[in-house]
Amino acid sequence: MKKQRPVHLDLQTIRFPATAIASILHRVSGVIMLFAVGILIWLLNESLASPESFAATQSLFDNLLVKFVIWGILTALGYHLIVGVRHLIMDTGRWEELASGIASAKAAFALSIVFSIIVGIWVW
């Protein structure tokens, strides 16, 4: 009996549901935050070394690239927090049906975009 299974999956033609995208991006934001911790600890260490190093660290934030990195870190943190709360709510037995899961994923995307815009205004 010959099985009709695909030999090669073309990932560009597969459409993931919003719930899968939310879950994948939640993991990606966690990895981003893992690397961001090193950057933030370095900045904290530099700022606490002396008053001169605090002034030097503070002047770093005038650089557009540093502002973009900080915005990216805060956006990843906000997304991870919002979708993490969504996952915790799902662990309690709510939003387990497909329709409510998709709606909660879309709401999490919308909240994350609003959070990202607010953080962008605050950073710049």
SS3 state at 9: coil
Q: What is the dihedral of CA 100, 88, 86, 36, to 10 degrees?
A: -150
Confidence of residue 11 (pLDDT cuts 50, 70, 90): confident
pLDDT, residue 57, reads: 95
Q: Is 80 annotated as a binding residue?
A: yes
Q: Which amino acid, one-letter code, is at 5?
A: R
Average pLDDT over residues 86-114: 93
pTM of structure:
0.84
Measured between alpha carbons, how far is 26 from 89 in angstroms, rounded to an integer? 15
pLDDT tens sequence across 49-88? 999 999 999 999 999 999 999 999 999 999 999 999 999 9
Residue 36 CB contacts under 8 Å (≥ 6 apart), including other chains: 73, 76, 77
SS3 state at 12: coil
Domains assigned to the chain:
22-123 (1.20.1300.10)
